[in-house]
């Protein structure tokens, strides 16, 4: 079997097929309910393979996030004995899941490249080709399990986790419209990761560029979690039955190892009479448990580069705080960072010149924090300016854009009791979905599941 290629880690963003809305609950998911619900879910998955559904044909629609979304197989009508006439399909529901690590402060790149796109998706109705509104379930998580693959401070992890959740809300993620939760609050992420750890060849993991680079810095003290990081990311994706995963070009190979793991799992456990017997005893169809997700390469326009090197992405891991604008930076700090950021000595300001990456980056930021403006509009305003004239304009535009987010953040963060309630509600909803997939995977592997 061909192993995965190299890749680098990045923001997780996943689109998945949604199950019947009637199956959703925020109450305790008992083993008995899990088994009966799994029977319904897997039955719906079975229908997906039989019909000419979206998952079969791959004719996904494109959403505001640039992602192809999967339809719910529960809404696909089937021919009956009484009538073989085509029936009009109901509007199918969809699901979106995405998250950011709570390591350090969220910066402008996290906000513009991910969180603001989530907000746009949340607030804009998705419609099919006939103009029908598509119901969408939205899950946005703080991926704290990813954060502990490197040495961390417990106090900082706790604060960063709550801070990230508060920033999601401050930036516009509405708990009334979307589910916000912490990854570790859904135990199925960890449990499925262990199952995947046990079937993933060591040499697949050792080839990962992220492990090679970070293990060099830590030497023999490197944790096993860093090695098995790809299994955790794979669990995040397949736990929610993703069919399409929007990723940056530098993240494509993270998806490749997920596809390899899915293929290996299905080949090992989802074939033959013994598997059919286990499924029959559990009351679920004997279909492959996991779906191989496809990559949708996101446009690079959302990338925000470092203030000290226009060829590198703005990063929380950069030791130099001057390289990034943190969403919670005070106004004067933002002004100082932009004033001192790297530029060039050429006259005028121009866009998309590969020899002037810093100019392109600063113009991209200026455009991004002024919704409604165009490149042409921006260039007409600033092309003849010097850097000394342009930088103050950029600084004030960033400050003005972030100010209401900062004000809302402190309002949310200071009410920790309410914030924790929001996170619990989100985790309850995510758990209801995750347990269904985990149950099916354990049946496939031969585990004895509770019957009461």
Q: Three-state SS string across the chain, please?
A: CCCCCCCCCCCEEEEEECCCHHHCCCCCCCHHHHHHHHHHHHHHHHHHHHCCCHHHHCCCEECCCCCEECCCHHHCCCCCCCCCCCCCCCCCCEEEEEEECCCCCCEHHHHHHHHHHHHHHHHCCEECCCCCEECEEEEEEECHHHHCCCCCCHHHHHHHHHHHHHHHHHHCCCCCCCEEEEHHHCCHHHHHHHHHHCCCCHHHHHCCHHHHHHHHHHHHHCCHHHHCHHHHHHHHHHCCCEEEEEECHHHHHHHHHHHHHHHHHHHHHCCHHHHHHHHHHHCCCCCCCCCCCEEEECCHHHCCECCCCCCCECCCCCCCHHHCCECCCCHHHHHHHHHHCCCCCCCCCCCCCCCCHHHHHHHHHHHHCCCCCCHHHHHHHHCCCCHHHHHHHHHHHHHHHHHHHHHHHHHHHCCHHHHHHHHHHHHHHHHHHHHHHHHHHHHHHCCCCCCC
> Which residue reads 């924090």 in tokens?
369
- Nearest CA among 169, 203, 191, 172 for reference residue 418: 169
- 367, two tokens: 């455009």
Q: Of residues 138, 244, 316, 337, which has the active-site annotation?
A: 316
- 238, two tokens: 């397949």
* Catalytic annotation present for 316: yes
* Catalytic annotation present for 442: no
* Catalytic annotation present for 2: no
Q: Of residues 138, 271, 312, 313, which has the active-site annotation?
A: 313
| CA 376/CA 82 separation, integer angstroms | 61
Q: Of residues 214, 244, 391, 442, which has the active-site annotation?
A: 214
Q: Which residues are catalytic?
A: 214, 313, 316
């Amino acid at each position: 079997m061909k192993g995965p290629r190299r890749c680098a880690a990045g923001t997780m963003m996943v689109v998945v097929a949604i199950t019947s809305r009637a199956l959703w609950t925020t109450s305790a998911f008992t083993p008995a309910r899990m088994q009966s619900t799994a029977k319904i879910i897997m039955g719906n998955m079975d229908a997906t393979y039989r019909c000419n559904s979206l998952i079969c044909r791959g004719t996904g629609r494109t959403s505001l996030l640039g992602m192809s979304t999967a339809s719910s197989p529960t809404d696909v009508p089937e021919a009956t004995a009484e009538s073989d006439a085509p029936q009009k399909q109901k509007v199918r529901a969809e699901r979106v899941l995405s998250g950011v690590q709570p390591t350090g402060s969220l910066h402008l790149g996290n906000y513009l490249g991910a969180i603001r796109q989530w907000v746009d998706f949340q607030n804009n109705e998705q419609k099919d080709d006939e103009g029908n509104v598509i119901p969408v379930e939205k899950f946005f998580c703080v991926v704290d399990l990813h954060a502990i693959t490197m040495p961390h401070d417990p106090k900082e992890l706790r604060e960063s986790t709550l801070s990230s959740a508060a920033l999601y809300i401050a930036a516009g993620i509405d708990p009334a419209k979307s589910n916000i939760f912490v990854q570790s609050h859904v135990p199925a992420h960890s449990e499925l990761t262990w199952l995947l750890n046990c079937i993933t060849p060591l040499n697949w993991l050792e080839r990962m560029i992220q492990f090679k680079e970070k293990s060099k810095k830590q030497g023999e003290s490197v944790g096993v979690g860093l090695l098995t990081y790809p299994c955790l990311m794979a669990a995040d994706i397949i736990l929610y039955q993703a069919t399409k995963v929007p990723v940056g070009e530098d993240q494509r190979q993270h998806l490749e190892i997920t596809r390899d793991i899915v293929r290996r799992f299905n080949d090992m456990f989802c074939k033959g009479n013994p598997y059919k017997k286990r499924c029959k005893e559990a009351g679920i169809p004997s279909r492959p448990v996991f779906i191989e997700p496809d990559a949708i390469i996101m446009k690079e326009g959302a990338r925000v580069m470092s203030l000290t090197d226009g060829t590198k992405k703005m990063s929380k891991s950069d030791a130099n705080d001057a390289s990034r604008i943190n969403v919670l930076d005070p106004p004067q700090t933002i002004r100082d960072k932009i004033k001192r950021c790297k530029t060039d000595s050429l006259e005028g300001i121009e866009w998309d010149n590969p020899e002037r990456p810093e100019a392109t980056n600063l113009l991209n930021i200026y455009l991004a924090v002024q919704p409604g403006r165009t490149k042409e509009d921006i260039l007409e305003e600033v092309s003849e300016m010097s850097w000394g004239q342009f930088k103050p304009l950029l600084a004030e535009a960033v400050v003005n854009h972030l100010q209401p987010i900062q004000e809302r953040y402190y309002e949310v963060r200071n009410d920790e009791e309410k914030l924790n309630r929001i996170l619990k509600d989100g985790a309850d909803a995510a758990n209801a979905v995750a347990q269904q997939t985990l149950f099916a995977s354990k049946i496939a592997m031969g585990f004895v599941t509770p019957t009461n």
